Chain A
């Protein structure tokens, strides 16, 4: 039952978006975040939405995943929208008034704009994890953060931890499956009782899982030592990322997009 969980939401592919250098993708993603917050009119947001949409089409990711990416932030959007709607005041007459609730036209305008902005933002940022495998992403983070090594920030250790965590997630899920079955065979009941009994029922799963995880960690450390692991000093990498034509092209497209957004900001 647990085995079908996929880690991250990576969809392998061979589109230009997939082939882009992961470091560039990460940086452009952050730049995109800034630009979306710079865009201050509906036209600019509309252009951004069209830009994101066309990227989805180019990368061959089904458009329904746009909605899937929005799902987790829905509660946040709803709560802030409601607060915005009722608390913001504007000039002129309120268009709606009932007891202490007053709604101004400007509040509706601001809220709608905020919702749209968040939608475009999340859809665009999700494209990064949709088109980049976790391992490549970790690698990109390690490389981009590597200057921090000079201020003693443990960049390599962090990346190594992320890699090992990703490597062991499926193994530990499998293990959890086995423990659940073993405890069920001994008469454990996970389906009945109130919340507290159900939570308590998970203790016999968590404890063996932790014991085994520590044992695995110990063995892994030995195996790593046998293969001459000694931290990040003097380490090389099998994969050497190289900037290619596709990256230059992506950069230029993104630059064009940025200029258009800034121009729309100025003229509209």
Chain B
């Protein structure tokens, strides 16, 4: 008897992704869609897309989506969740959107303990606009606006968003995961599921930071980009759960 082991999640529309070959967004979209399918909440989920490569996320998720102004996704999600508290509300934001122009919105949404989930995709540069330096660009990393490598004298240091937000009392669940190899993809899905389950329990703000690659702007083949991520990003952005409320299962 043949078992179907892997099919496209129902929560993804049939539209092909517009992302570059090997881009991590496709994997992360699929993980979110699988979790929504498994929790059976597709009919009550509302997503908020950011500005960046993921600006077109509303085309790919088969539930209600809203598109926010640059960086303002947590504020828009706050409004939606407060008006419709029975819905599952999440934002899907990149590092340029969340950690730069949207830093005020994310910090205050976390501090207020808004009962939303944030999927924060960190690929250490601004992907959509051509690979410029982002707040998460590593020291010495070459980008189109730091061609000699990020100088910490001039541009300062990268922001560790998960650690920073975990110091606040509002968040109930904060984790950093990665997708650079199959075991990490499983762990990433588990963290995304925990975040949505925590939101369903209504205990506070939840965020999953997903380290991802940007092969086109990093100038690497997709598999090389995952190796670069593992070698360079993991030491600066350690993986793990930075905040987990009581009642969250720790079955790793």
Q: Is this pair of chains taken from one and the same complex?
A: no
